[in-house]
């Protein structure tokens, strides 16, 4: 049985975030600032599958980040910067699931309620949705083309789960020479250990780790 924890809540997320940032302080790159005119926001897999308590894949900590994610979404929209959503699902035949069907007890089928993006962060008509079949949002999708066509050089990544789809996408973005911002309080995993492990690994070699509020302030003040 895979373990899941409600390791953060709306009430303690700020305190927890400072604790995590202190734990990884030796790897932080605090002198790098976002340039909103070159940036896009990637909202990764904020789907009913992870946020709805009735789902078999419910991630209890997910509710704590909704306000932070929405803050970034609104900031990017206000500045007319791209907000790009990813949505993980598989064909009803499972033909595109590959090893994921072997690795996980069940797979998420497209067109179902659980595959939909959660109402709390639902896309506007102008927002791009990337439909993906693997953790990495760049794998076999048009995400890179979308970013290159808009001359994007920096990406902010938030969503679920930090150690799977968010981390995989962050690493893949780095390999494509995109500067990655990965707010510590903008994504969640199943356990706190997994989440902090992702923050530490990404801070060491792949991404700028900070707070959602830092990025909202930067975009609103630019």
CATH code, domain with 51: 3.40.50.850
| Nearest residue to 121 (alpha-carbon basis) of 59, 222, 45 | 45
- Given a contact cutoff of 8 angstroms between Cβ atoms, the answer to whether 98 and 117 are in contact is no
Beta pairing partners, 157 = 42
Quick check: is 78 in a domain? yes
3-state secondary structure of 127: coil
| Nearest residue to 143 (alpha-carbon basis) of 74, 85, 81, 70 | 85
Taking 50 as the pLDDT cut, the residues of the chain under it are: 1, 222
Contacts of 141 (CB under 8 A, 6+ apart): 130, 131, 132
3-state secondary structure of 141: coil
Beta pairing partners, 208 = 181
Domain span including residue 120: 13-221
Quick check: is 114 in a domain? yes
- Given a contact cutoff of 8 angstroms between Cβ atoms, the answer to whether 210 and 186 are in contact is no
Pairwise CA distance, residues 182 & 204, whole Å = 12
What integer best gives the mean pLDDT of the chain?
A: 94
Overall pTM surpassing 0.75 (yes/no):
yes
* Res 218: pLDDT: 56
3-state secondary structure of 193: helix
Burial class (CB in 10 A: 0-12, 13-18, 19+), 184: buried
Quick check: is 95 in a domain? yes
Quick check: is 6 in a domain? no
Quick check: is 169 in a domain? yes
* Res 217: pLDDT: 61
Sole residue written with tokens 């975009």: 219
Q: What angle do CA 27, 21, 70 make, to 5 degrees?
A: 120
Quick check: is 3 in a domain? no
Q: Convert the pLDDT of each residue in 19-32 to its tens digit.
A: 999 999 999 998 89
The tokens of 59 are what? 């991630």
Contacts of 97 (CB under 8 A, 6+ apart): 90, 91, 107, 133
* Res 31: pLDDT: 87
**How much of the chain, in percent, has pLDDT values that exceed 70?**
96
User: Based on the structure, what is the number of domains in the chain?
Assistant: 1
Burial class (CB in 10 A: 0-12, 13-18, 19+), 14: middle
* Res 30: pLDDT: 80
Pairwise CA distance, residues 74 & 211, whole Å = 16
* Res 155: pLDDT: 98
């Amino acid at each position: 049985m895979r373990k899941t924890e409600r390791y953060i809540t709306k009430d303690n997320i700020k305190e927890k975030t400072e604790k995590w940032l202190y734990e990884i302080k030796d790897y932080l790159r605090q002198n790098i600032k976002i340039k909103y005119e070159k940036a896009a926001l990637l909202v990764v897999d904020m789907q009913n599958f992870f946020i709805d308590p009735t789902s078999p894949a419910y991630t209890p900590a997910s509710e704590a980040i909704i306000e932070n994610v929405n803050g970034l979404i609104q900031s990017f929209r206000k500045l007319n910067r791209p907000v790009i959503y990813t949505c993980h699902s598989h064909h009803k035949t499972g033909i595109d699931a590959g090893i994921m069907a072997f690795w996980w007890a069940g797979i998420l089928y497209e067109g179902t309620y659980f595959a939909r993006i959660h109402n709390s962060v639902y896309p506007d008509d102008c927002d791009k949705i990337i439909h993906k079949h693997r953790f990495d949002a760049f794998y076999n999708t048009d995400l890179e083309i979308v970013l290159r066509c808009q001359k994007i050089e920096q990406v902010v990544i938030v969503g679920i789960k930090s150690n799977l789809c968010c981390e995989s996408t962050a690493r893949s973005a780095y390999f494509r020479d995109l500067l990655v911002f990965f707010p510590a309080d903008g994504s969640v995993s199943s356990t706190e250990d997994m989440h902090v492990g992702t923050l530490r690994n990404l801070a060491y070699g792949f991404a700028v780790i900070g707070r959602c509020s830092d990025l909202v302030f930067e975009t609103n003040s630019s």
